Structure 1
């Protein structure tokens, strides 16, 4: 028997913060489903997450809420914030690298390729290596900008494809074994990712979607359900099942305050 979804699910709800703090370090709460079940993502089994909403659908808030949980559990994050202001809550946190302009994002992703290889070379000896969340907001637009940026200084003998985009694809392919995980805000269709890379998102969170978007991103879950305009109302697609879900919402201030005591150390 199903029940109505809560109208809102906030970090300040009684007992919720304690529940989040008790989660394993591979797991973050996405929200609560119609039957009252907690809908979560476990990075050990579903290493990458795609979030796609129409304007005003809360994608940036979802990114913030999920990222903050993993940071609290000891992960580090590379937050790529092309608008420069969408993730100011993360600036100044000791375990976060925050990059905004296209040159900074390009360099950060190229450096990420080196970090991926370093971790792979450890051959599974990653017990003391923190998870790394790669948070890419406005992702499709950003990847197109990275492609144009690469063309401005690419030399004749350089590869045609942006090394920043290639680095992101490599993380999607092999990040799980290196404990590097992508949280991608976009459709992953028109940004330049290879089809095989797009298939690596085992958790897809959709809100205010069209039937066409559903068929592109969640065809395995069947026909598109009715989209809701309510704040925080999403469908979470995992293992070919779509879960109508009220997403947990965390404000900038709540995320920053909660993470103020995160263990020091930079990526």
Structure 2
């Protein structure tokens, strides 16, 4: 099979690029644009038809925070609510200003937010699939591996005799990954989930977005996609693996904090 001809993409695919915002706004509810592939194809994630959760994993400086911001913003624009867990406390400052977003940074706040998620998940599941009028909930977890380790240590500091060994916050996250589709809860996970949540949880991510990966990371997170492809040092370039095991080299959309806030607070302002 001859390789598909590559499209020359811009060095950076900005939200302000001509017609890009209109293309994003025309997507159906539950679908978000990841970027444009090197073959010129629009690469998107569909939370309802294909991928209830999205896995993003990159090396340092690989753009995972930018990816989480872009995807979360698109779902918010469609009417979703979001819980943004930001252990660095400064990676998602845009989230602090929006009424439909709960932003948590310190580990105590993240713990409480996830234990609250457990109750919300149960409430939604009790509706038996009747989610009309219930907004989709996006749970975006930056630096997820480190966050889960911190949650484990935090739970040990005040766990009492008779309490479960596993942190209830981590248990809530696991439940959201397994039951989220039925409850309209979707996790955007920045990290390597098998190492912290168990190998079986990898099955819950039908869309995997990788950049600056090692061969070992590729084997663990994209085993059905064949050998690891040659990487590129091009900024904003990711490899997207979706449910059919196809690999798309993709230039991702970049949305700045200001663009996200302007878009979500004044969606009719097309100068943002």
Q: TM-score range by the shorter chain?
A: over 0.9
1:1-267 equivalences under 5 Å are 1-6=4-9, 7-44=11-48, 45-190=50-195, 192-239=196-243, 240-261=245-266
Query: Unpaired segments of 5 or more residues in structure 1?
Result: 263-267
TM-score normalised according to structure 2 size:
0.94
Instruction: Work out whether residues 194 and 201 of structure 2, in 8 Å CA contact, stay in contact via their aligned partners in 1.
Output: no
Work out the number of aligned pairs and report it.
261
- Give the distance between the partners of 1:154 and 1:119, measured in 2 at CA: 28
- Give the distance between the partners of 1:62 and 1:229, measured in 2 at CA: 17
- Give the distance between the partners of 2:141 and 2:74, measured in 1 at CA: 16
- Which deviates the most, 195-204 or 40-49? 195-204
Where 2:33 maps in the other structure, the secondary structure is strand
Q: What do you get for the CA RMSD once the two structures are aligned?
A: 1.1
Instruction: Work out whether residues 78 and 134 of structure 1, in 8 Å CA contact, stay in contact via their aligned partners in 2.
Output: yes
Shift of 1:189: 3.3
Shift of 1:5: 4.2
Shift of 1:3: 2.3
Instruction: Work out whether residues 5 and 246 of structure 1, in 8 Å CA contact, stay in contact via their aligned partners in 2.
Output: no
Instruction: Work out whether residues 77 and 97 of structure 1, in 8 Å CA contact, stay in contact via their aligned partners in 2.
Output: yes
- Give the distance between the partners of 1:161 and 1:126, measured in 2 at CA: 30
